[in-house]
Amino acid sequence: MEEIKRMPLLGDAFPKMKVVTTRGVLDLPDFFQGKWFVLFSHPGDFTPVCTTEFVAFQNKYDKFRELNCELIGLSVDQVFAHIKWEEWIKEKLGVEIEFPIIADTGKIAEIMGLIHPGQGTNTVRAVFIVDDKGKIRLILYYPQEIGRNIDEILRSIKTLQISDNNGVATPADWPNNELIGSRVIIPPARDIKTVKERQEKAQKGEFECYDWWFCHKELK
């Protein structure tokens, strides 16, 4: 496992590590080469909020796959506990968990910054969105008492991919922003020449602007 001196930050390469999971031993991030993936940690198996999250993730697994994105869970539990919990979810709730779950000894939690002393000794509810080049693009942390919003994680992946593919940004609550709806934001001009070009393009109707630093357009 690759040693790092601090927890990973946005823009960092996901640390190389060998992990024990319910689907065997995997090498991360290489196992997901060419795909996006979401690593999400949970405080513990056989707990109610975590159970609702795993059901929610599984029920929307197809939507993640539509975005070329895989899922992998994690907690400091032994692999047989993960397997038994999966069996319980299938038997009692009728949902079969199809994505792997990492059985961590605490080493991965330490590297990824998943233990927050003020929240106890269990892993917090962290989310790492990693792109198809193995780079960490988004990090979220939730306290133990709040379950995650899976739609927001999906929205984040979609908007990151839109940004990558189109060189744009997305506004608050996209695609339902109160100012510009589903339109996307053109990055602000950083020099006088670009400011003039923006003004000319706006006059031609190529996009709309509140001002030269706030221009937006339809996503094509």
Name the percent of the chain in helix, strand, coil, to the closest 5. 35, 25, 40
Q: How far apart are the first and last CA of the chain?
A: 42
Q: How far is CA 91 from the centre of its chain?
A: 29
Q: What's the token pair of residue 96?
A: 């079969």
DSSP letters of 89-106? IIIII-----S-EEE--S
What is the CB-side half-sphere exposure of residue 138 using CA atoms within 13 A? 18
* H helix and E strand count, the chain: 6, 10
State both tokens at 95. Answer: 């949902």
C-alpha 211/C-alpha 164 separation (Å) is: 24
Q: List residues with catalytic annotation.
A: 50
Structure tokens at 3: 């040693």
- Rounded to whole angstroms, what are the CA distances from 208 to 61, 116, 183, 205? 37, 45, 10, 7
Q: Which helix (H) or strand (E) holds 215?
A: strand 214-217
